[in-house]
Structure 1
């Protein structure tokens, strides 16, 4: 195993992990390297202290970064050897990844790897183009590979209930100054040089209203921010899906993040994007209602809409030098 290829594989894995999704693009992770092993840690300074009191969303984001590193290592020709939560005395240490045996990744892994930097979060309605049922079933299998359940919500009534819960949570949060100030902290005005948060071009200035209505965060906060709406876009809701786990431990949250990124990369490789709605899951009463009434007792970790968009927005990530310790 050549040292040059080892260093290249480690660097490639950490560089790829920067592109994982995170709530408000907080990028709440740091990395360190020792010989042939990467340590993935949560960055508590980037935790959303109002929206994410438990740290659940932070660990889901870090789990997505973990899956990204696994994929990148495989694409570089090494089997990733992963230990999740390896040291109970160091709770911020979420995982270690070591380069294992040299392997030849198959086309499916390379297809996922090719989407790491291309995948984008969508924050509006989708084009009126259906997502094939066969693809949705593949996404269900992708989540299952990580021990997590992805459930497409086929019932019109259930979709309406989830939309109503999202509306209720967004309405309450919009009236809470603490929530509003936290969103503002991560909203970036036009021309900002920051490499984290949600840029002004990352959402439409005037989003078409989906039916039923799934509200987005108000990142503009009264300003005339946002991008021009693509004329090919519409108010299509897309396929509503819920990511759930049997338990609700830190391990479950990390697993949910790995499943999320597996689903997103597979979807992106087939021209499908995701819009996220975490508002209702940030309010414990609404989350528990969903668990009992809509999720068969499983714990909802993420609500998303899947669809086709013709937007080609850029994205921003912190340089590796800022997150490598």
Structure 2
């Protein structure tokens, strides 16, 4: 029993390192015997930017992937049920310890990147991203039944950049966004640290959020856009949002292992008419769930996470 308990605790600790919109960390967990429950924390949902909870569930899906990865890395096959109880909509998944397994090389690779991965919020260096690496990321997404679509057409990139600019201009001073900006020296364990983005946004074509506290940083000198990619789904339901989060995290951890970082741009996807335009004009009718840029950077930022005691019932 001690080995199972250690594996469960390690999985929960890893879950807290998942990415989430504005680092809002919108999840809670519970343990019953050898089963972990992953739940959405509706109090942390963005009431304006994410009224349906789409981004919240994507973040929780990423946390679920970390749970599964670490359990397998500890030698236990994770047995997962998605949305197991219709009467408990915030219960997104349960994961119990299954049969004993030998972790493979990919699982060990992912496990080693969970606490190293960081969200980037500036430009990238001019180092080219190898085509083979992008192709590998597409395969990683597919392994979780997700679709990562690199946007190679320059006109399509300009459309996505323009949509992002329009969304940012529509909400130039977003109080909900600034709520999650951490002032310099803040002891908060959630939100976006002031040193996680430059005070003067890099001219990448894709504006970053205005968290109001950006500080002078070397990362502002890197201005390359990087590779633009979109994660899409055929349908647009809670199941697809959770699946997107799992596929996204698998992509991010694989990318991190090869020195590749990701910057997220969800502004346009938070405005229904702009998201619909992207779906029809760029995504071939599929639903865009995440717009991101991928590239190399030499910047390093520290991560902040709430302690497990705050998210574990």
TM-score range, shorter chain: over 0.9
Alpha-carbon shift at residue 250 of structure 1 (Å)? 0.3
Report the equivalent of 1:229. 218
**Of 261, 265, 269, which aligns to 2:257?**
269
Alignment of 1:1-325 (within 5 A): 3-174=1-172, 180-210=174-204, 213-220=205-212, 225-230=214-219, 233-325=221-313
Stretches of structure 2 that go unaligned for 5 or more consecutive residues are none
Secondary structure of 2:2 counterpart: helix
The C-alpha deviation readout for 1:24-59, integer Å capped at 9, x for no partner, is: 000000000000000000000000000001100000
Measure the CA separation in 2 of the matches of 1:284 and 1:227: 34
Secondary structure of 1:114 counterpart: helix
Measure the CA separation in 1 of the matches of 2:232 and 2:63: 19
Q: How many residues align?
A: 313
Secondary structure of 1:150 counterpart: strand
On the 8 A contact 1:207/1:229 being kept in 2, the answer is no
Alpha-carbon shift at residue 151 of structure 1 (Å)? 0.4
Alpha-carbon shift at residue 148 of structure 1 (Å)? 1.3
Measure the CA separation in 2 of the matches of 1:208 and 1:66: 33
Alpha-carbon shift at residue 316 of structure 1 (Å)? 0.2
On the 8 A contact 2:201/2:207 being kept in 1, the answer is no
Aligned-residue CA RMSD (Å): 1.0
Deviating above 3 A after TM superposition, structure 1's stretches of 4 or more consecutive aligned residues are: none
On the 8 A contact 1:206/1:229 being kept in 2, the answer is no
The C-alpha deviation readout for 1:181-230, integer Å capped at 9, x for no partner, is: 111111100000000000101111223211xx10000112xx5x324124
On the 8 A contact 2:201/2:208 being kept in 1, the answer is no
The C-alpha deviation readout for 1:124-178, integer Å capped at 9, x for no partner, is: 0001111110010010011111111100000011000100000000000116xxx
Secondary structure of 1:62 counterpart: helix
Alpha-carbon shift at residue 234 of structure 1 (Å)? 1.8
Stretches of structure 1 that go unaligned for 5 or more consecutive residues are none
